[in-house]
Amino acid sequence: MKPWPIADVLPHAGEMILLDGIEEVEAERIVCTRTLGTNGLFQNADGSLPAWVGVELMAQSIAAWSGCRARADRQPVQLGFLLGTRHYTCNADVFAPGSCLRIEAVRSFHDEHGMGVFSCRIDAPGVHAEARLNVYRPPDADAFFNQIAGEIQRD
């Protein structure tokens, strides 16, 4: 599968795109990168990035994987949802300024209803983070949002 430009495969825009690019993409795996500048979104005054943002980097990598699959199938990029993780570990409190982060996501489970589980990791010199993320991509996002809106109006 071809690695597309990151902005072409994410449903995010502007500063909310936290990844720089795609290094590798395969049928069940993606590797993305992020090099920390000095003043990006969520970064501390010293340019470090709190380790908790790693979960979002992992989620965006999964979204990029899904977007690459959609583009390869000549389909539009669709919204997906991070449902959560039961366990995120990182051996540091922050990712240091100037670090080049390598974010890998490997799909370990999916079903026909749009549920999926990915094993993810972030590696940089002296830093390692891991998590298993649970995600959901509805087969028809518009129908999903209309259903939710209808339920909210009834309540």
Residue 40 predicted with pLDDT over 90: no
Whether residue 81 is contained in a domain is answered as: yes
Q: For residue 119, what pLDDT is reported?
A: 98
Strand partners, 122: 103, 129
**pLDDT range class, residue 138, cuts 50, 70, 90:** confident
Residues 6+ apart with CB under 8 A from 118: 58, 62, 105, 106, 107, 108, 132, 133, 135
At 128, is the secondary structure helix, strand, or coil? strand
- For the question of whether the overall pTM of this predicted structure is more than 0.75, the answer is yes
Write out the H or E segment, with its range, that includes residue 145.
helix 141-154
Whether residue 64 is contained in a domain is answered as: yes
Of 34, 31, 112, 15, the closest CA to residue 64 belongs to 31
Are 78 and 10 within 8 A, CB to CB? no
Model confidence pLDDT, tens digit, residues 110-137? 998 889 999 999 999 999 999 999 999 9
Helices and strands: H and E segment counts in the chain: 3, 8
What total number of domains does the chain contain?
1
Q: For residue 147, what pLDDT is reported?
A: 76
Range of the domain at 119: 6-154
Whether residue 128 is contained in a domain is answered as: yes
Whether residue 85 is contained in a domain is answered as: yes
Q: For residue 4, what pLDDT is reported?
A: 86
Residue 155 predicted with pLDDT over 70: no
**pLDDT range class, residue 140, cuts 50, 70, 90:** confident
Model confidence pLDDT, tens digit, residues 43-80? 999 999 999 999 999 999 999 999 999 999 999 998 89
User: What CATH number is associated with residue 90?
Assistant: 3.10.129.10
Q: For residue 99, what pLDDT is reported?
A: 95
Model confidence pLDDT, tens digit, residues 81-95? 999 998 999 999 999
The CA distance from 44 to 94, in Å, is 9
The CA distance from 48 to 152, in Å, is 40
Whether residue 1 is contained in a domain is answered as: no
Whether residue 114 is contained in a domain is answered as: yes
Q: How many CB atoms lie within 10 A of CB 100?
A: 13
